[in-house]
Structure 1
Amino acid sequence: MQRIVFLFISLLVISAFEIWTLQPLFSQETTLEEYSVSHGGTSETNLSGFSAKLSDKYFGNGTAKASVKFKMRDDSGTLFLKVWRKVAKGEITFALLVFRIEIRGYDYSDTLVYSQDFGGFTFGDSKSGNWSEELKNLPVNIQHITVTFFGNYE
C-alpha cells in the first residue's frame, strides 16, 4: 500500500511540474535549423575581408526563408541573421514557432570564445513575418560559428 501511495504522489508531483513548466519533463527542444560557417585560416592568418553568406529557401523545411551573413574585419566580426516569409492572401500555412536562438563561436583549438542566446519569435498561422538580428564586435579569433534555431511549425 505504501508503494502505491508513493507512486501516486510521485506521478502527481511529476505531472504538476510538467504543467508548471509547460513542457514534458524529459523532452529536448527540437532543432528547427542549424547553420555553421568556418574558414580554413590559422591563428596567424589575417581574416580581414573574410565574408560568407548562407541562404536557405526552406527554413526548417517549411515556408520561411533564412539568411546568415558572417563578416570579419581587422578589429571585429559581424553576424547578421534574418528569417522571413511572405504569405499570399488566402494561402494556408502553419505557424512558425521559434523558441530560442543559440549562437556559439569557437577559435582554432575548438575553444568556445563567443556565446549568445536570444528569445524566440513567432509567425502566426497563415501570416507573413520578418525577424532579424545583427551582432557586432564579435571576437576576431572566431574560426567557426554555429547558429541554432530551436522550434517547429504547428
Structure 2
Amino acid sequence: MQQTVNRVDPALPVGAYQTYSITSPTDTTVRAACQQVGCQAWLHGWESTIDEATDLGAQQAAYIRTQARRTFREQRTEGGLTVFRFESGQRCFAEHKTRPEIYAVRDGDWRGNPTGRHRTHARPQDWVEDFGEHQLRLVDQKKEG
C-alpha cells in the first residue's frame, strides 16, 4: 500500500521554485578511496603480519617491499613472522566500493519542472555552495519585499 503524501499548498507558481536533491542509484557501485568510505586502516594505519616461509607470504612481502608504494616499518617477531606497520593516511590494500551520489538541482518543485533546466554537480561541495547561495538569494529577495 502506497503512503499518502501531505503537502502544503505552494504560495507561488511552480516556476518560482528550485529543487535540490541527493540521490543514489540502488543498483550501482563504484570504486572508492579509503578516505571516502571512512576506512579504519586509512584513519589509524594498520599492520600486516606475513609468514615469509610460505610461497604466498614471500610473494606478499616482496610486493610490499618493491611495488606497494606505501610507507611502512618492518619488524620480525620471535616466531619468525614479518610485521609490516603502515602509517595512517595512505591507501590500504582493500578494494573499497560505495554507491555513487548524484547532486542535482532542477527548476520547479513536486508539480514539475516548467523550464526543463536540470544540472548535476560533480562534487558535493559545489552542490552545498550552490544551495547556500540560493538560500542567500531568497533572504535578499525577502528583505527587498
Q: How high is the TM-score relative to the length of structure 2? A: 0.23
Q: Which has the larger radius of gyration?
A: 2
**Larger % of strand: which?**
1
Normalized against structure 1, the TM-score is what?
0.22
- Higher helix fraction (1 or 2): 2
Question: Per chain length, whose mean CA-contact separation is higher, i.e. which structure has more relative contact order (CA < 8 Å, sep 6+)?
Answer: 2
